[in-house]
Structure 1
């Protein structure tokens, strides 16, 4: 059904009407209520397969007042980015719903035979203290994501193939942890090297060494891993087993399934389940943090791209009625046309998130959310 809709949608994109949209009314709109409220989204009957635009616009800023209340037992990782600053507030308000918060601050770069960490200008010690205070019941940990940047093929060869280089890399990370009082890192290296190595043995051995050093220093190591795409499995069950005892968790990137070349749902729920069970077919999934997108996609005749909260809400104001629901992907979408043309928008809803959390409970995985600044405040009632 949805495939036929897309075909019709893109055929119609070539047909433009000459009618001028009605001018918006000049009357100032009533500002929606915001902040803590006495009932959660379940008690407010807001979880539905076809929410109306009005329901979302009027309720998305209201969240249950007991922000220490939790509904999920596994590891919950939330990413925070400097370019979506609301995520900093979310981490402080809902800190007790997370076991780990990962600010996207840092990059590690080669500097001659040594390494340097850049991005520490974004480190906010007061914010870290506030998050840890908010998450004191769960004892939330601050684990910045560290991205390898500026590495050539030769740089990777030295890093993975020379023990001295590996130890310098580890020391650089440990020294920064000690200086800034981090609780560990989310390490992003596997996606960059997926498909580029003849043998993954050197990469596995490298991560094992990093993990061993982190454990000896009582630090957490979360490894970012890519999902399966079109029958290609860039991270295998054998690699999962080889690294299981050396990392705290695996952050599985189960989102961005569709793109502007292939418009559609961001993370079909059956695909997500397949990604999980293919990596760990026999259980032992507690260390898999299933990726949950708190952003959407806006497809337009010119392409479009990722859409965040304020853009989504602005487009939602043009929707008269309810969102559509695709049962196969378990995602909501809507189509609107405004002054700048047609928009086909996919964005998570309470229902789509709730169904994915049910899946994670069933498969006994954790959660990783990309990212806190992009979602709606009432989403966190579900955690």
Structure 2
């Protein structure tokens, strides 16, 4: 017994000394569970996120010691998600939030509303696409169903509502978003109009969805978000922004998003990790898991994990010589059934797809997202312990995604 006590004492002393020598890990990059289980994760992903691989004697000793005190309260994070099976990971990770983008494409379109009400126990926040910023700083309402009724229903289910505002698209040589962002007076006018809209419908905050912002307006976009945040945050409103994914600063369409600077002026940052392929490309995955994870890793170099939301898609695209069409899940399944096609699975990208020939002889290829592909994206939430996910859009999804989402996000 005396020898055993000496061995235990020696082990504790060694652990203490080694612990003192280990550099402090940035709080935003990893949880305790990550430190204990990183050996099972991707070393490349770990390095990109700013930490070590967690291998070595220090980890083993720390694991043994902390395991003694913590028991089974911690579990190993998901491994290499690109090859894993489903969402899993540390049990003690911070609660995750699901944001549902919400849109009404015509007056009687209630698909987003119906999805919200049916799954209110899973959805924490909705961002209704109700407004567009014009070149003169005014905000036009996109119409749709009665906004007040939607807000009331959301509130009765403890769902926060953020006004989603996009930017008017380029017309000829005029770039409306540049006109506003580059003019301090128009920025102020736009922010005042946003505030008025939020207060009119008693909303909880705003979601800025400015896309195709010129690279030259990088600092102007940051200035706008700083001014917006300074105006709304003291009043208790949530300020959020959607950003294009990127893996370096050479992508023209994403350069305008200064991740590090924007993170200072936003409570939530939704990285739009979808449309990996789309109307501008040939057929391919909507969200190749390798591309998604690399984009997430890059974002985590600049954005605190407790502000970062992973964008997930609920739709697909049908490519043919006649063009590219965006389709919701039900329409995609109807096409497959109509043409007698079995859905195929691309294991490399973790994505479903199929091909068919239309009655006129035109060849079509369809790639989309479903409940199975979603599991791999959700595994990244656990692996990197980020704030949550944002799905575009409610009402277009595979009904089978909800049991999967419910396991991750139940309120």
**What TM-score do the two structures reach when normalised by structure 2?**
0.67
State how far apart, in whole Å, the 2-side matches of 1:358 and 1:263 are: 25
The structure-2 alpha-carbon separation of the partners of 1:336 and 1:217, relative to structure 1 and needing over 3 Å to count, comes to: same
Is residue 351 of structure 1 aligned with residue 372 of structure 2? yes
Between 1:258-267 and 1:289-298, the stretch displaced more is 258-267
The structure-2 alpha-carbon separation of the partners of 1:323 and 1:123, relative to structure 1 and needing over 3 Å to count, comes to: same
Is residue 175 of structure 1 aligned with residue 196 of structure 2? yes
Equivalenced residues, count: 306
State how far apart, in whole Å, the 2-side matches of 1:315 and 1:238 are: 37
Alignment of 1:169-248 (within 5 A): 169-189=190-210, 191-195=211-215, 197=216, 200-228=218-246, 232=251, 234-235=253-254, 239-248=258-267
Aligned equivalent of 2:138: 115
Corresponding residue to 2:113 among 81, 84, 88: 88
The CA deviation at 1:262 is: 1.7
Is residue 369 of structure 1 aligned with residue 387 of structure 2? no
The structure-2 alpha-carbon separation of the partners of 1:162 and 1:237, relative to structure 1 and needing over 3 Å to count, comes to: closer
Q: Give RMSD over aligned pairs.
A: 3.0
Alignment of 1:316-355 (within 5 A): 316-318=336-338, 320=340, 322-341=342-361, 342-355=363-376
Larger CA Rg, structure 1 vs 2 = 2
Aligned equivalent of 1:30: none
The structure-2 alpha-carbon separation of the partners of 1:158 and 1:371, relative to structure 1 and needing over 3 Å to count, comes to: closer
The CA deviation at 1:143 is: 0.9
Aligned equivalent of 1:380: 402
Corresponding residue to 2:152 among 100, 121, 129: 129
Query: Are the counterparts in 2 of residues 104 and 144 from structure 1 also a CA contact under 8 Å?
Result: yes
Unaligned runs of 5+ in 2: 1-83, 85-92, 406-411
SS of residue matched to 1:167: helix
SS of residue matched to 2:245: coil
**What TM-score do the two structures reach when normalised by structure 1?**
0.71
The CA deviation at 1:369 is: 0.6
Aligned equivalent of 2:72: none
Aligned equivalent of 1:61: none
Q: Comparing both chains, which one has the higher relative contact order based on Cα–Cα distances under 8 Å and sequence gaps of 6 or more? A: 1
For residues 139-188 of structure 1, give each alpha carbon's deviation from its aligned partner in whole angstroms, at most 9, with x where no partner exists: x2111211122678586566334444332221111111111111111112
The CA deviation at 1:237 is: 11
The structure-2 alpha-carbon separation of the partners of 1:228 and 1:154, relative to structure 1 and needing over 3 Å to count, comes to: closer
State how far apart, in whole Å, the 1-side matches of 2:176 and 2:232 are: 22
Aligned equivalent of 1:259: 278
Corresponding residue to 2:290 among 264, 270, 274: 270
SS of residue matched to 1:333: strand
Corresponding residue to 2:269 among 247, 250, 253: 250
